[in-house]
Amino acid sequence: MKRAASIFSVFGLLSGCGGIQSALNADGHAAATLRDLIFLIVGVSLVVWLAVSGVLIWSLFRRRRTPVQNEQATQRRLQLVVTIAVAMTVVIISWLTVASFRVTRTVGFDDDADLTIRVRAHQWWWQFDYEEAGLGGGFQTANEIHIPVGRNVRVKLESADVIHSFWVPSLAGKMDLVPGRENILIFRTDRPGVYRGQCAEFCGLQHSHMALMVIADDEPGYLRWAKAQRADADTPQNVDAQAGMSVFMRKQCAACHTIRGTPASGVTGPDLTHVGSRRTIGAGLLENTRGSLAAWVADPQTLKPGNNMPLVPLSSEELRQVSVYMEGLE
């Protein structure tokens, strides 16, 4: 089972920016229940398939007896076999239906949670609001969340535009984000780690570039992270970063992005207050380095065609300064 899980998790590792992404490599309680259901259904189906194939092969190769003689006995035997097969089919299908119904009814709907995060899906990025004071809330981030291990986390799911689906396979099942409606999903993991998730509902051109990272920390680590996120952005200390900040405020950047502690307060794009602390940019598109920040700002439409970020004309010097500034927003 472990080996199967590790083979499948290779797909998660290949999909970039690290992190486990496999429903078979389950580290969350909800995900483990779903994984057991997967193995139950696959196991039962395998047994049925082997039995049917066995009978088929046996009937192809068995010796034919002389016909007619015992027609009535053969008829009765056939009737019995068919009746047993139908009964077994009904029992097995009912069993799997009830098992899957019970799992989907119970998984991720526990009432209590220690932490609530409001998730708003956009074409094509994730907005996360840690809105409640419990466990240190009161800030917004994008495409990457931290959670404390051993705690139930409730995500309130909503959408700004079309239907998306929140899916972190190693932690929980999928849940849609539907415009005008709020869905709830509760999950929990006891193991620190980096878990990759992605949008699991086709939502347009860049659906495949709508990843998210969930980082499970021990509680002190999580609280440190939350405290740092709640703080306003640091005032840049070096000359390049200061110049980059002034470019950011002067050009269109500040109209769409918020950097808390500065005049930038746009709400169209992701909150960039601590963008430098994130692992990736562009919702899992690129690793977060100064080079990729510069590449993204220089030409977002080539890297991720159709997204809402316009090309802001900058000189190469301004581009360099802006990336230094953003890299420093940790």
Q: Which residues bind ligand CUA (CB under 6 A)?
A: 121, 124, 164, 199, 201-203, 207, 210
Q: Which is nearer to ligand CUA, 207 or 278 (CB)?
A: 207
Tell me whether strands 286-287 and 280-281 are parallel, antiparallel or unpaired. Answer: antiparallel
Q: Which is nearer to ligand CUA, 201 or 327 (CB)?
A: 201
Report in angstroms how near the CB of residue 156 gets to ligand CUA at its nearest: 17
Instruction: Write down how long the chain is.
Output: 330
Report in angstroms how near the CB of residue 181 gets to ligand CUA at its nearest: 16
Of 282, 278, 257, 263, the closest CA to residue 327 belongs to 278
176: amino acid identity, one letter: D
**Which residues are registered as beta bridge partners of 10?**
none
77: amino acid identity, one letter: R
Three-class SS of 245-301: HHHHHHCCHHHHCECCCCCCECCCCCCCCCHHHCCEECCCCEECCHHHHHHHHHCHH
Residue 155, H or E segment: strand 153-159
Q: Which is nearer to ligand CUA, 121 or 155 (CB)?
A: 121
Q: Which is nearer to ligand CUA, 149 or 162 (CB)?
A: 162
Report in angstroms how near the CB of residue 125 gets to ligand CUA at its nearest: 9
Q: Which is nearer to ligand CUA, 20 or 119 (CB)?
A: 119
Residue 241, H or E segment: helix 239-250
Q: Which is nearer to ligand CUA, 199 or 233 (CB)?
A: 199
* Cis preceding linkage at 124, omega within 30: yes
Report in angstroms how near the CB of residue 139 gets to ligand CUA at its nearest: 23
Report in angstroms how near the CB of residue 206 gets to ligand CUA at its nearest: 8
Report in angstroms how near the CB of residue 177 gets to ligand CUA at its nearest: 8
Is the CB of residue 304 less than 8 Å from the CB of residue 295? no
